[in-house]
Amino acid sequence: MSSMNGSKLVVNGVTKIFKMGSGFSRINITAVKDISLEIDLAKGEIFTLAGESGSGKTTLSRIILGIIEPTYGKVLYRNKNIFAMKRNERRQFIKEVQVVSQNPFEAFNPLKKVESYLFKTAIRFGLARDKKGAIPHVEKALKAVGLSLAEINDRYPNELSGGQLQRVAIARSLITQPSMIVADEPVSMIDASLRMSIINLIKQLNEESKINFIYITHDLATAYYVSHKIAIMLKGEVVELGSIDLLTEPLHPYTELLRTSIPEPDPDKALEAIDKELVISKRNFDSDFACKFADRCPSKMKICEREEPKNYIVNGRIVKCHMYSNKGIKMTNSIQI
Amino acid sequence: MPIVSAKNLRAYYIVDVYGFKRTVKAVDDISMEINENEILGLAGESGCGKSTLMKVLLGLVIAPLKVLNGQVIYSFNGFEKNIFELSEKELENLKWEVFSYIPQGSMNILNPTRKIGDTFFDFMEPHMEKFDKKYVREIIIQHLGNLDLPAEILESFPHQLSGGMKQRVTIALATILKPRIIFADEPTTALDVVVQRDVIQLLKNIQKNSKNTIVLVTHDMAIHANLATRIAVMYAGKIIEIAQTKDIFKNPLHPYTKYLISSLPKIGDKTYKKSIPGAPPSLANPPEGCRFHPRCPEAKKECSESVPELIELETGHKVACFRIN
């Protein structure tokens, strides 16, 4: 498409405020606040959005997919604002940016045969005129995920295991030959013994076909295993962003807390007892302090209560913390990494 | 002397709808012992029967679940009885005082229309000979203090507490009568990592201080590594390996356990993690012989013909595999 050029997906200062309730009990919830990030589609990267439940990672992914319109800011896909696209551009965007959802048992209609999703996707996006013409596309997509049409033909979702269904879901997203797949917790509902096979599949598709992934997860161990870059989210904000290796030596105190709280599958490395102050967070979404982590932060300073920290560039990462106001470079333009 | 010993337990879900009979062999010939003063972890993937095993050990057998065979013997202080032969009254007496149960998703069991304090009172009343509200309140506050929980939560409704706090409240409920055994089913699932770390710590402290037994069901091997002293690995309705936590992680013997341990991702380790081939079998129609043999890279002929027994190799390390004998 001539109007879509460039090779980047740019999220620029995106904020989403949900308005809840009515009349006097109206409240605003800032689910995502001033987030900027950039993915170079030509590189073929796996980008992880990590955070605890309620940190806004799913809202952000829905904004990137164009399902939710942000209150402020915009998302540019190949230099086009995805919320101001023409009909055919939008179609091209959906074709190139696909989604794999969390629970494969909910993603498929239990009354429909699973292969119908594959054929419909192929026909709807004009890859084939009819079912017969779509067979090669379907076969190719299934082969890429280690299945074949013979295995899933005429089967209903309840006849397949969670792992197989998630493979079919990934195969469906591959039919349009996307440049990017947004995968929201793709393995959290999968059995432990099959989990790594899905993660390895994502890794393989990324390495062999250069497909970009946005991998949304709360599981930092699989994130470290599979991805190149990571953004750590806390209460709707990105507090640290950079190469995945930031997990081994975190800069932001929140990343440090997460890192030390993950139980390791090694009996010699038991978790240390945790300070109560770190656990209990204020329940309301908008913390009283300017920095969202100030209510639990072990290195809290006076300034953290009144002034929202800026983004600083430290060792090639973006860190949103006052501790780095002297050590890091203050960012002027929000997008640099 | 084990406090609970299960012998040849067989518990199936038997569903008979309009003549269409279906049997799910969730617990199939399991024998095991639970010792005093230990944290026993039951590991295995979803649908392998670990929650069902826990329910059977508790005597919580509700149709369609049916115990076909075997016994669960509780023995302590001269009491020695099979839980399936107890009268309703006797079973009531055991509940919460001898064993307590933290069911899966227990943070959502609190009555939303009653204050936490009232829930505590409701819970305590049948277990007190003379119910003095003031005295009971003191016990509750002291117990909450021991678990580092603020007394103010007694005045709160469940919706005012966070998920982690509710989970801690249910743990407090389950431990207030100082039971000898606590059965906890996925007590940290659905909690954020930081809160999870705190709940792990809480369970550890409870066990350390009162020297009781915790039976912990979770699919998360990292939780087992942190909490359990001994681990039983289940696969398709059977225990295939049972050993000290260290041995399970450092010296796994069963091919399934080996795969399970080696496929765990860790931060700081980017080496390729092989996944287990195939998929777990349906318990309605499990394979003949060793239930892992269709996925096992080391399967021999006899693996598909007969069922390997759980054999003790070194002291305390048992494994059910023909290859290792």
Question: What is the 3-state secondary structure of chain B?
Answer: CCCEEEEEEEEEEEEEECCEEEEEEEEEEEEEEECCCCEEEEECCCCCCHHHHHHHHCCCCCCCEEEEEEEEEEEECCEEEEHHHCCHHHHHHHECCCEEEECCCHHHCCCCCCCHHHHHHHHHHHHCCCCCHHHHHHHHHHHHHHCCCCHHHHHCCHHHCCHHHHHHHHHHHHHCCCCCEEEEECCCCCCCHHHHHHHHHHHHHHHHHHCCEEEEECCCHHHHHHHCCEEEEEECCEEEEEEEHHHHHHCCCCHHHHHHHHCCCECCECCCCCCCCCCCCCCCCCCCCCCCCCCCCCCCCHHHCCCCCCEEEECCEEECCCCCC
* Chain A contacts in chain B segment 260-299 (CB below 8 A): 260-261, 263-270, 272-276, 279-280
Chain B residues close to A248, C-beta within 8 Å: 267-268
Task: For A222, name the nearest residue in chain B, comparing CA atoms only.
Answer: B265
For residues A2 and B55, the model is more confident at: B55
> What's the confidence (pLDDT) of residue B325?
66
* A222 interfaces chain B, CB cutoff of 8 Å: yes
For residues A228 and B147, the model is more confident at: A228
Residues A286-298, mean pLDDT to the nearest whole number: 79
> What's the confidence (pLDDT) of residue B91?
87
Residue percentage of chain B with pLDDT more than 70? 100
Chain A residues close to B198, C-beta within 8 Å: 274, 276, 279
Beta carbon pairs, A and B, within 8 Å: 136
Residues B172-186, mean pLDDT to the nearest whole number: 91
Categorize the per-residue pLDDT at A222 as very low, low, confident or very high, splitting at 50, 70 and 90: very high
Residues B43-70, mean pLDDT to the nearest whole number: 89
> What's the confidence (pLDDT) of residue A334?
53
Helix axes B255-262, A192-209, angle to 10 degrees: 50
The alpha-carbon gap from B81 to the nearest alpha carbon of chain A, in Å, equals 35
Give the separation between CA A273 and CA A144, rounded to whole angstroms.
45
- pLDDT of A105-124, one tens digit each? 888 999 999 999 999 999 99
Residue A314 has pLDDT above 70, yes or no: yes
pTM value is 0.86
Q: What is the DSSP-derived secondary structure letter of residue A65? A: T
Residues paired with B311 in a beta bridge: B319
Beta-strand relationship, B65-76 and B79-82: antiparallel
* B222 interfaces chain A, CB cutoff of 8 Å: yes
Residues B48-76, mean pLDDT to the nearest whole number: 90
> What's the confidence (pLDDT) of residue A284?
46
Sheet architecture: strand order including B79-82 = B20-34, B4-17, B65-76, B79-82
Categorize the per-residue pLDDT at A285 as very low, low, confident or very high, splitting at 50, 70 and 90: very low
Give the separation between CA B104 and CA B108, rounded to whole angstroms.
9
Q: Residue A166: what residue type?
A: Q
Categorize the per-residue pLDDT at A54 as very low, low, confident or very high, splitting at 50, 70 and 90: confident
Residues paired with B216 in a beta bridge: B41, B184
Q: Do A262 and B221 touch (CB under 8 A)?
A: no
Tokens of A152: 């899933």
Give the separation between CA A229 and CA A103, rounded to whole angstroms.
24
Name, in order, each residue with C-beta under 8 angstroms of A224's C-beta and a sequence gap of 6 or more: A244, A247, B265, B266, B267, B268, B269, B270
Q: Smallest Cβ distance to B46: which of A191, A196, A266? A: A191
Other Cβ atoms less than 10 A from the Cβ of A172: the count is 26
Q: What is the DSSP-derived secondary structure letter of residue A111? A: T
> What's the confidence (pLDDT) of residue A2?
47
* Chain B contacts in chain A segment 169-208 (CB below 8 A): 191-197, 199-200
Chain A residues close to B276, C-beta within 8 Å: 193-194, 196-197
Asked which of A280-294, A307-321, B16-30, B120-134 is least confident by mean pLDDT, the reply is A280-294
Sorted by where each begins, the domain ranges of chain A are: 8-330
The number of helix segments (H) and strand segments (E) in chain A equals 12, 13
Chain B residues close to A161, C-beta within 8 Å: 279-280
The CATH code for residues A8-330 is 3.40.50.300
Residue B123 has pLDDT above 70, yes or no: yes
Asked which of A16-30, A59-73, A276-290 is least confident by mean pLDDT, the reply is A276-290
Specify burial of residue A108 (Cβ count, 10 A radius: 0-12, 13-18, 19+). Answer: buried
Name, in order, each residue with C-beta under 8 angstroms of A35's C-beta and a sequence gap of 6 or more: A11, A13, A14, A15, A60, A73, A237, A238
> What's the confidence (pLDDT) of residue B184?
93
Average pLDDT in chain B: 89
* A261 interfaces chain B, CB cutoff of 8 Å: yes
Q: Domain spanning B4-98+179-265+273-319: which superfamily? A: P-loop containing nucleotide triphosphate hydrolases (3.40.50.300)
Give the separation between CA B47 and CA B282, rounded to whole angstroms.
8
- Reduced to 3 states (helix: H, G, I; strand: E, B; else coil), residue A79 is coil
Q: Do B194 and A279 touch (CB under 8 A)?
A: yes
Residues B195-220, mean pLDDT to the nearest whole number: 90
Residue A283 has pLDDT above 50, yes or no: no
Q: What is the DSSP-derived secondary structure letter of residue A285? A: S
- Reduced to 3 states (helix: H, G, I; strand: E, B; else coil), residue A151 is helix
Residues A285-297, mean pLDDT to the nearest whole number: 76
Residue B265 has pLDDT above 50, yes or no: yes
Q: Smallest Cβ distance to A225: which of B224, B270, B279? A: B270
> What's the confidence (pLDDT) of residue A333?
57
Give the separation between CA B200 and CA B223, rounded to whole angstroms.
8
Going from the C-alpha of A39 to that of each of A81, A99, A100, A213, B165, the distances in angstroms are 15, 16, 18, 10, 38
- pLDDT of A230-279, one tens digit each? 999 998 999 999 999 999 999 999 999 998 888 888 888 888 777 776 77
The alpha-carbon gap from B94 to the nearest alpha carbon of chain A, in Å, equals 33
Give the separation between CA A214 and CA A39, rounded to whole angstroms.
9
Name, in order, each residue with C-beta under 8 angstroms of B173's C-beta and a sequence gap of 6 or more: B119, B120, B123
> What's the confidence (pLDDT) of residue B283?
86
Name, in order, each residue with C-beta under 8 angstroms of B92's C-beta and a sequence gap of 6 or more: B126
* A72 interfaces chain B, CB cutoff of 8 Å: no
Q: Do A193 and B267 touch (CB under 8 A)?
A: no
Sorted by where each begins, the domain ranges of chain B are: 4-98+179-265+273-319
- pLDDT of A293-311, one tens digit each? 888 888 888 898 888 899 9
Average pLDDT in chain A: 87
Residues B235-240, mean pLDDT to the nearest whole number: 93
Residues A33-62, mean pLDDT to the nearest whole number: 91
Q: Do B275 and A222 touch (CB under 8 A)?
A: no
Name, in order, each residue with C-beta under 8 angstroms of A288's C-beta and a sequence gap of 6 or more: A282, A295
- pLDDT of A153-168, one tens digit each? 888 998 887 888 899 9
> What's the confidence (pLDDT) of residue A87?
92
Q: Residue B255: what residue type?
A: P
Please state the separation of Cα A313 from the chain's center in Å.
Answer: 22
Q: Smallest Cβ distance to A271: which of B197, B274, B276? A: B197
> What's the confidence (pLDDT) of residue A53?
81
- Reduced to 3 states (helix: H, G, I; strand: E, B; else coil), residue A265 is coil
Residue A313 has pLDDT above 60, yes or no: yes
Q: Do B225 and A267 touch (CB under 8 A)?
A: yes
Residue percentage of chain B with pLDDT more than 90? 48
Are the CB atoms for A29 and A199 separated by under 8 Å? no
Residue A58 has pLDDT above 50, yes or no: yes
| Residue among B225, B282, B195, B104 at smallest CA distance from A266 | B225
Residue A282 has pLDDT above 60, yes or no: no
Residue A287 has pLDDT above 70, yes or no: no
